[in-house]
Amino acid sequence: MKKFYEATEKFHKKFEMKGTNNEEMGFRLNLLMEELGELAQAHTKGKSRENMIEENIDLLNLILGNFVSMGVSVEEVEEAFWKKHEKIMSRKKKKTKNGHYRVSEFRE
């Protein structure tokens, strides 16, 4: 995680994103939706595994960029990740009506 975070930080520094629209969450959400659309398109068009990996990496880069833009340190990211991981690991898995499986906090 640290290497990825630091690489993203370098990218933000190189392209002087601090204080620009590149660090505004509204703009970043548009970028995320654009990249999510590219991933969805790669999936629906049956693109290669390499292409699917690249589109997921685009999303990962943007997510890491969100943390850099928000001033969230790599330590905070790691702490939040493991806190959430512990929470989702305690959840239950259920089969939905359409046959898919979901891991969530189900209300009885």
Which residue from 9, 17, 58, 63 is in contact with Mg ion, where contact means CB under 5 A?
58
The distance of closest approach from Cβ of residue 84 to Mg ion in the complex, given in angstroms and rounded to an integer, is: 25
What is the maximum span of the chain, computed from C-alpha positions, in angstroms?
51
Stretch of 16-24, 35-43, 73-81, 85-93 contacting Mg ion, by CB under 5 A: 35-43
CB-side exposure of 90: number of CA atoms within 13 Å?
A: 5
User: What count of residues does the chain have?
Assistant: 108
Which residue from 11, 38, 47, 52 is in contact with Mg ion, where contact means CB under 5 A?
38
Q: CA-CA-CA-CA torsion for 22, 23, 25, 28, nearest 10 degrees?
A: 40
Binding site for Mg ion (CB under 5 A): 35, 38, 55, 58
